[in-house]
Amino acid sequence: MSAPFSESVIVSRLRAAGCVFAEDEARLLISTAATPDALAAMVDRRAGGLPLEHVLGWAEFCGLRIAVDPGVFVPRRRTEFLVRRAAVAATGLGRPAVVVDLCCGSGALGAALAGILDRAELHAADIDPAAVRCARRNVAAVGGRVYEGDLYDPLPAALRGRVDVLLANVPYVPTEEVGLLPPEARIHEARVALDGGADGLDVLRRVAERAPRWLAPGGSLLVETSEHQAARAVGTVAGSGLIPRVASCEELYATVVVGTMPAP
């Protein structure tokens, strides 16, 4: 494709707009744009502050290209650690794992985990209609289903007591800290996907409280949290009757709390 301006010009414009990885972003924009006019429009949107993933229409996550529509939460690379821990939790079942992805956003976590496991019965849910529309594209590709509603409410009742892996990448930013997030997040992503209440744990409390009704014996709830919230998150998970543990990854700066349903 003949670009309307050179890669070096695009890099300069992106760098001037504050894009730290301007060279990489310029190459992605050039390779994704179908026409010179489309490239020009994409560069304008990115220089104007729209998240790169929303400009491209996809985000790379666990080696997959996940469709990400405007306004939908962009999956973070650190959350790949949660998916890896979930894959460990799902091993050794001898049958397809029953996976539920709550607060699913684009459906990235469930889709990635289903791809790792090869065989899984995948269900996902989100309260945001825009996220649900986006997730259906990603989750359908791996044979899963997506429901619109608040946490467990839209899930089929037949899943109660059958869930082997319950992924819940809940919002965990304290309300007063949402305004400190980078503009790409606080302006262009749905607040419901970011704001975790006064201490950042409001949604986790609701997820943990009802998790035992849905988990199979030995099944696990996995949630991402911040390092300084981990102790309180562990207490919340333990208070619901699950057996908690913490896993962390220094490379990705990721903290995951796992709560396992006791076997009878």
243: closest CA among 206, 205, 211?
A: 211
φ, ψ of residue 252 in degrees (nearest 5):
-95, 0
Q: Between 196 and 129, where is the model more confident?
A: 129
Stretch 47-51: mean pLDDT? 87
SS3 229: helix
Per-residue pLDDT tens digits for 64-103: 999 999 999 999 999 999 999 999 999 888 899 999 999 9
Structure-block tokens of residue 135: 């997730």
Question: How far, CA to CA in Å, does 173 sit from each of 197, 204, 226?
Answer: 7, 11, 9
Q: Render 114-125 in DSSP notation, one character per residue.
A: HHHHSSEEEEEE
Per-residue pLDDT tens digits for 131-172: 999 999 999 999 999 999 999 999 999 999 999 999 999 998
Provide the sign of the torsion angle of the four alpha carbons 92, 98, 100, 101, taken in this order: positive
Distance CA 10, CA 106 (A): 29
Per-residue pLDDT tens digits for 171-229: 988 899 888 888 888 888 888 988 788 998 999 999 999 999 999 999 999 999 999 99
> Are the CB atoms for 219 and 260 separated by under 8 Å?
yes
> Are the CB atoms for 242 and 234 separated by under 8 Å?
no
Distance CA 78, CA 82 (A): 8
